[in-house]
Amino acid sequence: MDPITVLLDEVLEDIRPLRDGAPAGYIPELAAADPEHLALAVVGPRGRVRAVGDIGHEFTIQSISKPFVLALALADRGRDAVLRKVGAEPSGEPFNAISLEPGTGRPANPMVNAGAIATSALIPGDGVDDRTSRIAAGLSAFAGRSLWVDEQVYESESATGDRNRALAHLLRSHGILEGSVDVAVETYFRQCSLLVTVRDLAVMSATLAFGGVNPVTGERVVEEVVARDVLSIMTSCGMYDFSGEWLLRVGLPAKSGVSGGLLAVAPSQFGVAAFSPRLDVHGNSVRGIAVLETLAERFGMHTLEPH
């Protein structure tokens, strides 16, 4: 093992004994996750991937899809058009909150479900399959390999997705969502059900860290300004109602998902991702947070620290 992999392995073993939290219970397929899974990956500027733990395990991307679909919407429509449909303010509320701006009905930001459903609906396409293919192709470019939907998780999420459906109906009543509610939510459920590994998430994170260029494939996936916009929103809103404390403790733009994935971006340095399904009350991975806190501390990664 090279010295960096040894260090990553040490960090992982240090936090392995943490047993707090539980896998998400509200999507039946996610509740069945093995709570012991644990993995960590880091991708540097030349696209070198270092990964430790359960690195081959696939899980659904869930809310970590949100910043990348936001990137696609920004690239397709431009910032002003996106901001007409969704805000850029931290909501201070849980990820599934009914947090719509009084008057306009705009969701607070694209990282909470209401905002993510509105953002996903900005991706052009005819129907669920066409839209999902575009989203899958875009996220695959960020990951540097083809990503596929886990049909079982999708079915499970769709069967229990009434709260997201209700949010979509509210968005439509405000004119934020223009087309079919069904197409919007089913596309959103399919986007959340794309399968990834911790390595994929680290490569996706690194693509944002290096201004929209995937350091593994060399492909420019989005323009630099789009990557910067996405990182700005991740900084203020990526960890839901823990975003402020996260910025204080770790100091990196980040995004979590209810299957237990967590990615963080060290701009111009590297992309990092962790996976562990036990979640805290905010729906963030307990051991994922601990891993990132430890890494940020040991390597002085806080973005607001003089470098």
CA dist 259 and 278 (Å) reads 8
Quick check: 158 binds ligand GLN (CB under 6 A)? Answer: no
Q: How far is the CB of 62 from ligand GLN (least distance, A)?
A: 3
258 is in an annotated binding site: yes
**In angstroms, how far is CA 207 from the centroid of its own chain?**
13
Tokens of residue 12, six digits: 């992982």
- Given a contact cutoff of 8 angstroms between Cβ atoms, the answer to whether 40 and 291 are in contact is yes
Q: Note whether 164 binds ligand GLN by CB under 6 A.
A: yes
Q: Torsion over CA of 12, 44, 250 and 241, rounded to 10 degrees?
A: -100
Q: How far is the CB of 243 from ligand GLN (least distance, A)?
A: 13
* Residue 240 bears catalytic tag: yes
26 flagged as catalytic: no
Minimum separation from the CB atom of position 161 to ligand GLN (A): 7
User: Does residue 157 interact with ligand GLN by CB under 6 A?
Assistant: yes
Distance CA 78, CA 134 (A): 17
Which residue from 49, 4, 1, 42 is spatially nearest to 217, judged by alpha carbons? 49
- Cα gap 251→292, rounded to integer Å: 10
Site string for ligand GLN, 60-99 (x = CB under 6 A): --xx-------------------------------xx---
x/- track of binding to ligand GLN for residues 182-221 (CB under 6 A): ----------x-----------------------------
**157 assigned ligand-binding residue:** yes
Q: Does residue 246 bind ligand GLN (CB under 6 A)?
A: no
Looking at residue 271, the DSSP 8-state letter turns out to be E
Residue pair 299/238 in contact (Cβ under 8 Å)? The answer is: no
Closest CA to 204 of 160, 150, 261, 251: 261
Binding site listing = 63, 113, 157, 164, 188, 240, 258
Residues that bind ligand GLN (CB under 6 A): 62-63, 95-96, 113, 157, 164, 192, 257-258, 283
Catalytic site residues? 63, 66, 188, 240, 258
